[in-house]
Amino acid sequence: MNARGAIAGLALIPFLLAGCSREARQLASDQPQTAPSGPADPRTARYAANFYQVSQGGRYFTWYGCGDCHGRLARGAANLANGSRHAVEALYTAIAAGQSGAHSDYAARVPAEQIWQMAAYLHDLSRHEPARNRRNALDQQGEPQGNRWQGPLQ
């Protein structure tokens, strides 16, 4: 490579690295213990804008068996993917408080952090392009679904 090419390559690195911060995560245990206090809650942005939290939300959505009724991409019962309920705090309340008759209040059984993550995931679904949603579904195929686990080995 000539010198100019090398410099151009080096100049690109900061742009590539900028992508990494989208998945920044903190491994210490400062997990939220409470529901959002309102639209201005600073945690809302921290969860909704972070790809790691969003993808963890997709994972727990599968693990907790939400897909049994809502479908794998949340297009089943009460289409969650059409973006009609956008706000993270509204989604949080809907999951935590329960849906009259349809499901019990998950606040009693799911720790707050996972509700935050699932709300961020559902919030993000309508903004995803279909290709990424399909990819997401493919990635989660081998994962446990609620109380069923077929496993990757058939």
Partner 1 sequence: MAGAAAVNGGRSPVPLVALLLTGCSGIQSSLDPAGMQAGATFRLFELMIVMCGVMYGAVLLFLGASVWRVRRQLAAAPAIEPADPGLGKGLWAWGGVIVAGLVVLATGSFFVERALAAARAREALQVRVTGHQWWWRIQYRTPDGRWIETANELHLPAGRTARIELGAADVIHSFWVPNVAGKMDVIPGHTNVIDVSPHRLGWFRGQCAEFCGAQHAHMAFDVKVDSPAAFDAWLAQQGRPAAAPADAIAARGMAIVTGGACGLCHVVRGSAATGRAGPDLTHVGGRRSIGAGTLPMSRGALQGWIAQPQALKPGTMMPAVPLDGADADAVAHYLETLR
Four-CA torsion 124, 127, 132, 138, nearest 10 degrees: 40
Q: How far is the CB of 116 from partner 1 (least distance, A)?
A: 11
Classified as helix, coil or strand, 145 is: strand
Interface with partner 1 (CB under 8 A), residue total 29
User: Per DSSP, what are the bridge partners of residue 148?
Assistant: 145
Q: Give whole-number Cα distances, 110 to 42, 74, 133, 149, in Å.
A: 21, 18, 24, 20
Q: How far is the CB of 139 from partner 1 (least distance, A)?
A: 8
Q: How far is the CB of 10 from partner 1 (least distance, A)?
A: 27
The 7-36 contact track toward ligand HEC, x by CB under 6 A, reads: ------------------------------
When CB distances are held under 5 to 8 angstroms depending on the partner's kind, the choice from partner 1, ligand HEC, none that residue 80 binds is ligand HEC
